[in-house]
Amino acid sequence: MEWEALTPTSNLDGLLRLIITFFLLGWNVFEGLSLRTPYPSTMVALWESPVWRSVILLTIWLGAEWCPRVGAMSALAGLMYIVNMIQI
């Protein structure tokens, strides 16, 4: 990981990185890491689709290519969701 990847290329890029990082952080705190909060029924129903699972993994890779912080948060969110779905 290079340090340039952490630096936003513009103000809009930095704002988007900040918004998505904090959104995923909140998602992980209130949804992914909380066992009492069930996932939305749409996400549970979509788990059967291989396309949906591929999109999740592709999103993790693209998020990590874009910004390491977004990649780390999306990897945590995606991993929690997939592990919970497998365990069910």
Residues making contact with other proteins (CB under 8 A): 1, 5, 50, 53-54, 57-58, 60-61, 64-65, 68, 71-72, 75, 78-79, 82-83, 85-87
Residue closer to other proteins, measured from CB, 31 or 59: 59
Q: CA-CA distance, 50 to 44, in Å (whole number)?
A: 13
**Which amino acid, one-letter code, is at 56?**
I
Q: Smallest Cα–Cα separation from 76: which of 27, 40, 36, 15?
A: 27
Residue closer to other proteins, measured from CB, 22 or 61: 61
Shortest separation between residue 41's beta carbon and other proteins, angstroms: 19
Shortest separation between residue 34's beta carbon and other proteins, angstroms: 18
Cβ proximity of 80 and 34 under 8 Å: no
Residue closer to other proteins, measured from CB, 18 or 53: 53
Size of the chain, expressed as the number of residues it contains: 88
